[in-house]
Amino acid sequence: MRVYVFSLLTTLMFATPVLAVDARIENAWVRPTVPGQKVAGAFMDISAERDLELVTVATPVAAAVELHFMRMDGERMEMRELESIRLPAGKTVRLEPGGLHAMLIGLKAPLGGGDSVPMTLTVRDGAGKQSTIEITLTVAAPRG
Ligand SMILES: [Cu+2]
């Protein structure tokens, strides 16, 4: 048991550098939902140190996650699904209400304020090599 705990800790310590993929995630949050609501937007700031592309997002709390882009076209809200989101080196890409976001689809339970949502981001570099980033989002109402 002791050996197991030690090896788990070692794994965690080596796994911690999200820096392995040269991307930092900040301000990660998900909107709270009301009972019966099956979708929710997830938002965060992603800063990549080298050119990466966000290709997949997954969370155990939803059946699927899609990458979406939203904008207002006059009075009409337009939302479309993206295959990936480019993360240019040295820039902060904001996933925020009214713009880019990750859409949780098929929520298994309502998300209440203060809940934590684990999420796995898969990024790909220019050579096609993929890495994953594990993050935790807080369920919170939009700020401001
Ligand atoms: Cu959406």
Mean pLDDT by 10 residues, the chain (144 residues): 48 47 92 94 96 97 97 90 97 96 96 95 93 95 72
pLDDT of residue 73: 87
HEC string for the chain: CHHHHHHHHHHHHHHCCHHHHCEEEEEEEECCCCCCCCEEEEEEEEEECCCEEEEEEECCCEEEEEEEEEEEECCEEEEEEECCEEECCCCEEEECCCCEEEEEEEECCCCCCCCEEEEEEEEEECCCCEEEEEEEEEECCCCC
pLDDT of residue 29: 97
CB within 5 A of ion ligand 1: which residues?
Answer: 68, 79, 103
Distance 79 CA to ligand 1 centre (A): 6
Do residues 83 and 100 touch, judged by C-beta distance below 8 A? no
Which pTM was predicted?
0.82
Distance 16 CA to ligand 1 centre (A): 30
Q: What's the Rg (C-alpha) of the chain? A: 16
pLDDT of residue 144: 55
pLDDT of residue 22: 87
Distance 42 CA to ligand 1 centre (A): 9
Distance 51 CA to ligand 1 centre (A): 24
pLDDT of residue 21: 75
> Quick count: other Cβ atoms within 10 Å of Cβ 102?
26
Domains of the chain: 19-139 (2.60.40.1890)
Do residues 7 and 15 touch, judged by C-beta distance below 8 A? no
pLDDT of residue 99: 95
Distance 125 CA to ligand 1 centre (A): 25
Distance 2 CA to ligand 1 centre (A): 45
